[in-house]
């Protein structure tokens, strides 16, 4: 039965294409990661559902695939790292809790600064109407394009190779802005491109505290337009740099 040989050959090829014994492609390991996060009781269920559907192992090198579902940051090349799953869940939860996102039940139009390997952009795509993600390193911009092509998403994030400190006015205004790299301050372009009712979250240097997560809400009501800033816990993100490489 020649057909049978073909079937066996195809099954072998599928097994060899993925690290054996990890069961990563079945998704069971990913579901366990999400179950562990859920057990902590501090994450938004919609964010966990999005993370349950994005194969994180597709975004890291094959040699690291077995660690893809541990709660750990991993190198993605070019001296950069993919954030820990719990940090991604926490930051996206803070975005979902903004007044605009709470009212519409989603993140709306999103700007991400620091595409890296594209993992967080993929999770954002599950929660948003549109995702624009900017990366300053050409090597990672290209890697993210390849990674994102491999995963099924409701709509593909728009990737740009540019200096994210300038935002992207042509795709804005944004309901949600999220930075994956930390600067000394929040670039003015981000505030200008944040829509009324929108929320921004960015690791930022704070006097005497090192780097902390800063949440900024653009409020617009009878009192006029205001930007309200709150500081959250200390964090350690790679630096927000200017220019492209």
User: Which residues in this chain contact ligand SAH in the complex, by CB under 6 A?
Assistant: 76, 80-83, 113-114, 116-117, 119-120, 134-137, 140, 163-165, 180-181, 238, 240-242
SS3 60: coil
Hey, what are 120's tokens?
Answer: 């967080």
CB of residue 83 to ligand SAH, shortest distance in Å: 6
Rg, Å, the chain Cα set: 19
Q: Which is nearer to ligand SAH, 29 or 160 (CB)?
A: 160
- Kindly state the DSSP code that residue 156 receives in the 8-state scheme: P
CB of residue 161 to ligand SAH, shortest distance in Å: 9
Q: Which is nearer to ligand SAH, 12 or 184 (CB)?
A: 184
Q: Which is nearer to ligand SAH, 58 or 163 (CB)?
A: 163
CB of residue 102 to ligand SAH, shortest distance in Å: 23
CB of residue 13 to ligand SAH, shortest distance in Å: 29
Longest dimension (CA), the chain: 78
Q: Which is nearer to ligand SAH, 136 or 199 (CB)?
A: 136
Q: Which is nearer to ligand SAH, 29 or 132 (CB)?
A: 132
Catalytic residue selected from 83, 86, 133, 171: 83
The reply to whether omega before 173 is within 30° of 0 (cis) is: yes
CA 104 – CA 226 distance, rounded (Å): 20
Bridge partner residues of 218 (DSSP): 227
Whole-angstrom CA distances from 203 to 18, 65, 181, 182, 240 are 35, 27, 7, 5, 9
* Cβ(56)–Cβ(83) below 8 Å: no
Q: Has 220 been annotated as catalytic?
A: no
Whole-angstrom CA distances from 1 to 8, 13, 204 are 11, 19, 64
Phi and psi at residue 87, to the nearest 5°: -70, -40
CA 239 – CA 182 distance, rounded (Å): 5
Residues tagged active-site: 83
């Amino acid at each position: 039965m020649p057909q049978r040989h073909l079937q066996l050959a195809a099954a072998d090829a599928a097994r060899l294409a993925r690290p054996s014994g990890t069961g990563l492609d079945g998704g069971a390991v990913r579901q366990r990661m999400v179950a562990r996060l859920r057990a902590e009781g501090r994450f938004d269920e919609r964010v966990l559902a999005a993370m349950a559907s994005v194969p994180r192992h597709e975004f890291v090198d094959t040699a690291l695939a077995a660690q893809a579902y541990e709660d750990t940051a991993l190198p993605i090349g070019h001296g950069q790292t993919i954030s820990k799953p719990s940090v991604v869940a926490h930051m996206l939860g803070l975005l979902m809790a903004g007044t605009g996102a709470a009212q519409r039940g989603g993140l709306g139009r999103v700007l991400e600064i620091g595409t890296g390997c594209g993992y967080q952009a993929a999770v954002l795509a599950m929660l948003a109407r549109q995702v624009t993600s900017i990366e300053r390193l050409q090597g990672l911009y290209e890697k993210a394009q390849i990674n994102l092509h491999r995963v099924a998403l409701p709509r593909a994030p728009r990737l740009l190779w540019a200096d994210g400190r300038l935002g992207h006015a042509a795709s804005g205004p944004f309901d949600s802005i999220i930075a994956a790299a930390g600067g000394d301050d929040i670039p003015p372009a981000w505030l200008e491109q944040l829509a009324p009712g929108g929320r921004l979250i960015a690791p930022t240097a704070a006097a005497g505290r090192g780097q902390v997560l800063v949440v900024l809400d653009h409020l617009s009501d009878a009192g006029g337009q205001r930007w309200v800033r709150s500081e959250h816990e200390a964090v350690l993100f790679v630096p927000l740099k200017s220019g492209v490489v």
